[in-house]
Amino acid sequence: MEPKIDWKDIASSYYDKCLSLTILFIMFTFMVFPDIDQQDFRSIERILETIEILPEIQERIEPPEEVARPIVNIEIVDAEDDSDDDIMIIETIEITRLDPFETIVPPTIHGTTPRFVVYEDAPVVIRRVAPNYPEFARRGRIQGTVILNIEILIDGSIGAIEVRQSLMSGPNGLDEEAIAAVRQWQFQPAKNGGNPVACWITQPINFTLEN
């Protein structure tokens, strides 16, 4: 038969050990933190005194005077009596119908087509407009060719136009007339692999007088 162990004997055996460790911990704390500031806490007492007003004094206190409120007359006009003859209705915004499935094509910036584009089928002119002959050039019997660099977009319309070689030096009106005429031209765009592509071409514009 095993002997019975009383828990009080076990607790008393740990008492001395715990007390020693506590004393060592307190001594270690004072050694590590020797200067510990202590702050004094002060309590402030406030005494409120109540004064009882005597009935005689209360009777002497006059109540505040009532300020008369201004009376504002509001005239109510019947809406049925109003006449809309003098009101002019201006419609400036039309009804907008938005298609959520519509593809928005960004605007084309002219002159951004690369100078060298590979294509199998060259662009073909399908609408040509002759340039106007300036009167001063007719009188001066001025003839020749203006050479233009023309940007043809994928839909066959004209993009940017540059004067590569002018007929005369300085402003003469012939370059402007050549550009104005080509601006009205229409092309069948160049194609590569069956798909239209934008490209640049060099186009001479002749100014010739009839004999």
H/E run at residue 141: none
H/E run at residue 39: none
**Is the four-CA dihedral 173, 178, 179, 185 of positive or negative sign?**
positive
Q: In what order do the strands lie in the sheet with 144-152?
A: 158-165, 144-152, 199-207
Verdict on whether the full-model pTM lies above 0.85 = no
Domains of the chain: 124-207 (3.30.2420.10)
Mean pLDDT by 10 residues, the chain (211 residues): 62 75 82 66 71 65 70 66 57 67 72 91 95 90 93 95 87 88 96 95 92 65
What pLDDT score was predicted for residue 8?
Answer: 65
What pLDDT score was predicted for residue 15?
Answer: 74
What pLDDT score was predicted for residue 160?
Answer: 96
Residue-by-residue DSSP string for 46-107: --PPP-PPPHHHHHHSPPPPPPPPPP---PPPPGGG---TTPPP----PPP---TTPPPPPP
What percent of the chain clears pLDDT 70, i.e. is strictly above it?
A: 65
What pLDDT score was predicted for residue 179?
Answer: 95
What pLDDT score was predicted for residue 178?
Answer: 95
- The string of pLDDT tens digits covering residues 27-85 is 878 777 766 566 666 777 777 776 666 666 666 666 667 777 777 777 666 655 555 55
What pLDDT score was predicted for residue 205?
Answer: 95
Q: How far apart are the C-alpha atoms of 175 and 166, rounded to whole Å?
A: 6
What pLDDT score was predicted for residue 149?
Answer: 97
Contacts of 146 (CB under 8 A, 6+ apart): 163, 165, 166, 167, 174, 175, 178, 204, 205, 207
Contacts of 165 (CB under 8 A, 6+ apart): 145, 146, 147
End-to-end CA distance of the chain: 148
Q: How far apart are the C-alpha atoms of 28 and 182, rounded to whole Å?
A: 101
Contact 189, 120 (CB under 8 A): no
What pLDDT score was predicted for residue 193?
Answer: 93
